Amino acid sequence: MTINKNLTLEGLGESLTTIIGNNTRIFTINSGATVNISNLKLQSGGIHNNGTLTISNSTIQSSKVTGNGGALYNTGTLTVNDSTLVGNSANANSNGGGVGGAIYNVGTLTVNSSTLTNNSSVHACANFNCLYTGGEAGAIYSNGTATLNHSTLNDNSASGYHGGGIYNHTGIFTINDSTLSGNTTRVNGGGIFNNAGELAINNVTLSDGTAIDGGGVYNKDGDLVISNSTLSNNSTTHSGGSIYHIGSGTMNVRNSTLSGNSALGESSGLGGGAIYSAATALILNSTIVNNSALGVGGGIWNTVPLSIGNSIVVGNTAPTGKEIRSNGTLNSLGHNLFGENAEAGLEGADSVASDLILAGSMTTAIAPLADNGGPTPTHMLLPGSPAIDA
């Protein structure tokens, strides 16, 4: 159905009003039209929006399209409030597609208090010997402006290439007060893949993502800001268990926790249990603990200058550089707590006079990751911890 004028469509509730498609677009909204859809379910079909669309208190499920944007394809202005997008998929064919399992956005997107779960982007070739791409952005692809507030993205997958949860391509993407958990990709960026865009993450829990590189976030040529967030239990088969940062962009991590992440690549050319950084980076007032690498750099592995201050890097493990392996320059801004010094813990890196070295086990200074009343899980400092007022 094509909608070319203003329309309000209100159902009796998701359990009472269901519109069933045939895995094609149920609605196409033309440019200039303003449409409000609420209190209903769309099943086996989604929406192509070129106008202004607001979806509230609704569900879009099991929409499986060949092309992009399994549930929603947006070139206009799209707002999703208090809704669920579940079990949708974007599938590639010989003409391309397969991007954005739930949402494909090249306009302006705002998602508020919503859940995107078990969506997928699907590559068409089992052996990947194809001349086209696909299978990117398990939940959301954005090449425009996107904001995600108070929402959950969990168990989405990209079977082809990048971005199990989100793929931000040269756009501006802001995530506030949200949870991304259990998102997976065949290649890079289990939670998020940021390609030459601006990505801001604030008060976010990013956990249990899996990828080859960048289990939580893969940042390539983009500007990444992470604040007041927790990245935990993400894993990779190569490097950057939580964050993989390369290219011409910058990374700024502030007031955040990276815990329990792992990089499982077993060679001297792989590692960074929490962070692999090959581009300009700054870490302030953050906690990097209990991460592991089977190669180098249990906590951090950097190959270009990285600055760190007022932070805790302890209890990480790796055969080389338990806490930090620096093949570039590690610039300590002071007032850090490191778990081990010299080659055992800080290989290729040096502490400064105001830094402290933890004499005993991590368990004597820092409590396990837990809900301590903030927006995300954190490690509480134990009484007598040397990090207090350091």
pLDDT per residue as tens digits for the range 198-220: 999 999 999 999 999 999 999 99
Closest to 97 (Cα-Cα) out of 44, 46, 45, 135:
135
Confidence tier at 342 by pLDDT (50, 70, 90): very low
Closest alpha carbon to 294 in 368, 378, 236: 236
Q: What local confidence, expressed as pLDDT, does residue 8 receive?
A: 98
Asked if residues 116 and 138 have their Cβ atoms less than 8 Å apart, the reply is no
Q: Which residues contact 369 (CB under 8 A, 6 or more apart)?
A: 230, 232, 257, 259, 260, 290, 377, 378, 379
pLDDT of residue 344: 60
For 90-105, the pLDDT digits (tens) are 998 867 789 999 999 9
* pLDDT at residue 48, rounded to an integer: 98
Instruction: Tell me the CA distances in angstroms from 287 to 134, 229, 333, 381, one per residue in order.
Output: 36, 11, 15, 11
The pLDDT of residue 128: 54
Q: How confident is the model at residue 308 (pLDDT cuts 50, 70, 90)?
A: very high
Pairwise CA distance, residues 389 & 372, whole Å: 19
- The rounded percent of the chain whose pLDDT value lies above 70 is 96
Q: Is the predicted pLDDT of residue 130 greater than 70, yes or no?
A: no
Whether 142 shows a pLDDT value over 80: the answer reads yes
Is beta strand 257-259 parallel, antiparallel or unpaired with respect to 120-122? unpaired
Q: For residues 151-157, give the mean pLDDT.
A: 99
CB 47 within 8 A of CB 71: yes
Binned at pLDDT 50, 70 and 90, residue 389 comes out as confident
Query: Which pLDDT value is given to residue 99?
Result: 96
Read off the pLDDT of each residue in 13-38 and give the average, rounded to a whole number: 96
Average pLDDT over residues 55-60: 99
Whether the Cβ atoms of residue 29 and residue 56 lie closer than 8 Å to each other: no
